[in-house]
A and B are shown apart, each in its own frame.
Chain A
């Protein structure tokens, strides 16, 4: 595989609240390769956004990184992001790692023209040549299929939701970052606009060659966007594999449950099955495997011992004691359909 851009190693983050510590993400490890897109899927509150925010030091003040490191490589030089100085981090943001947040509706300063906001971003990273910045901006706006000149001279409120989202994508890659984090980039957009955004994203990625971390709870979008998928549950990564692995050969009961909760057009089952129960309290999580109270395959061992996140087949990791039961169940399940 190609070189590793971002190597996340054993990262744990807690939120300090009056009741104690919310263990928002625990022992997260994964590698992001050059030019790949990795999707993080999971329920709300499973720690997807928290992990991503830590890469650009944008965690809320109540959060604390309790361990681990994130190694970032550019031009053969590897540094630990968590040890960046403030100035280095400011430059790292957007220039090396851009994060496109969910809900772009309010992403732009309402009193500045789009042009000013592109120039602002470039200027903050030492791009002094105004003509060059404008030229690149126009190119990028064309790439996201907007009318470049008009968009440039618009105020944010003059753009529709989809146009704003595309403008934000263009802004995201303005400085040619290596990593682009997309946090639910298509929430609050209609299905046709979502489609257009995804196409634009893929085209941009193939042209510019950045790596994507794609955060979503829309499994269909993730399946379409990603090369690899990681399933998160209760602040832990429970399964990681290629898109094929996760969507067709899941090894973790939670991944399987997620898939069963999504309707398939090829299926005429009347009811979808949801995963019973609720996500656990992250201040006082269950012992052993955190998923065991909701897991149909749970046995006594799951309550006592935390399963190891290990490689079951090349490139396919999962944290479950009884993956063979899951394999059997999914075979029966999908035979019936």
Chain B
């Protein structure tokens, strides 16, 4: 009694294969999502009170004592922005630009490409939030697994208790606590020295002083992000490991006489980590956005703080640029999560799409 395992032979025509291709379909869906968000963002930000010219007019009237008319003329001549142009017309102009891969020019910093602004701030956020995510993910998994192995002992109690507390406090509260307690009260570091992304005295370049300076400036936001997110990883990994430990195949692996560390890694660890990898891939999307408030608190010049600045200036094009990047990152990391999961878990591998 030989049982066959092979599926039926794929006889679909090429166009049907194309339409039914899982990766391609996911990709097209993602593009559609991005377009929908762009459109939503475009109209939403124009519904905010005030526009770039008005904000600048107010600024000029307050600082340089100009009359409204003078200020308006100056603002209008400085900005390539016509507040009276039709919004729908602007929308199609913008879409046309995007299709050519152009995010346009900043409204308030005339002559500066939005893309070059983003490229200036993005690496800092990626570096800072990315390393925080990695630390938090690895450390969280380790602690979560430890808690699960020693469940209902003091090790588990301490880890779970701390993780619950830590995960209940949002990261901007940690930012403020760190600044006030360790910076202002205990004076462990000079708050002023930690501002920015690196010491202006060390010119950017691939050399030790610059790297050290970058690390030194990133350490506080990184700590903040880790504290803000590690609890979630610990609790997720603890739950996942606990349920995996109860699986038959783990018990049977023990009955098979496998060595403890082989069981811990290939049998428990690998299965317990599966759902966490999906979470990780989704989190990667949010790395680019960083956290507006945390970057503001540490005056860390990343994408989040740039977004904050462009919102306050009503710099529509910059805002659109940043939000577009964040949207793309989130949507495509979700797609990545899907695809990654199917690579890691043979059970969800889509047939005919290897």
Residues of A within 8 A of B (CB): 56, 58, 90-95, 98-99, 101, 103, 105-112, 120-121, 124-125, 145-147, 150-151, 154-155, 157-160, 163, 171, 196
Contacts and interface: CB of A to CB of B under 8 A. Distances in A.
Contacts of A105: 248
Q: Which of B252, B258, B262, B271 has the most CB of A within 10 A?
A: B252
Given A109-B267, A110-B345, A158-B5, A124 B259 contact: yes
A146 B271 CA distance: 27
Contacts of A109: 249, 253, 266-267, 270-271
Measured as residues with beta carbon below 8 angstroms from the partner, the interface class of chain B is 20 to 34
B70 interface: no
B262 A124 contact: yes
B253 to A, nearest CB: 7
B346 A110 contact: yes
B255 A147 contact: no
Given A106-B247, A157-B347, 16 more contacts: A56-B255, A90-B257, A91-B257, A94-B256, A95-B257, A101-B255, A107-B248, A109-B270, A109-B271, A110-B271, A111-B270, A111-B271, A125-B257, A146-B3, A147-B3, A151-B5
B131 to A, nearest CB: 28
B239 to A, nearest CB: 18
B342 interface: no
28 contacts: A58-B251, A91-B257, A93-B254, A98-B255, A98-B256, A101-B248, A106-B248, A107-B249, A109-B253, A109-B267, A109-B270, A110-B345, A111-B271, A111-B344, A120-B262, A120-B266, A121-B258, A124-B257, A145-B1, A147-B2, A147-B3, A147-B5, A150-B4, A150-B5, A155-B346, A155-B347, A157-B347, A163-B3
B257 A93 contact: yes
Q: Which of A90, A92, A98, A163 has the most CB of B within 10 A?
A: A90
Given A106-B248, A120-B262, A120-B266, A93 B271 contact: no
**Interface majority SS on B: helix, strand, loop or mixed?**
helix
Interface in B254-312: 254-259, 262, 266-267, 270-271, 274
A147 B4 CA distance: 8
A4 B253 CA distance: 28
A145 B2 contact: yes
Contacts of A111: 270-271, 274, 344-346
A94 B346 contact: no
Contacts, number: 87
Contact of B347 (A106, A110, A124, A147): A110
A194 B249 CA distance: 22
Contacts of B253: 109, 120
A121 B256 contact: yes
Interface in B156-197: none
A111 B270 CA distance: 8
Interface in B1-59: 1-6
A147 B6 CA distance: 12
Contacts of B345: 110-111
B351 to A, nearest CB: 10
A99 B255 contact: yes
A154 B5 contact: yes
Nearest to B247: A106
Contacts of B4: 147, 150
A114 to B, nearest CB: 11
Contacts of A147: 2-5
A108 B249 contact: yes
Nearest to B271: A111
B288 to A, nearest CB: 31
A157 B262 contact: no
Q: Which of B255, B274, B346 has the most CB of A within 10 A?
A: B255
B275 to A, nearest CB: 13
The 5 A-B residue pairs with the shortest CB-CB distance, nearest first, are A93-B257, A106-B248, A155-B346, A94-B257, A124-B258
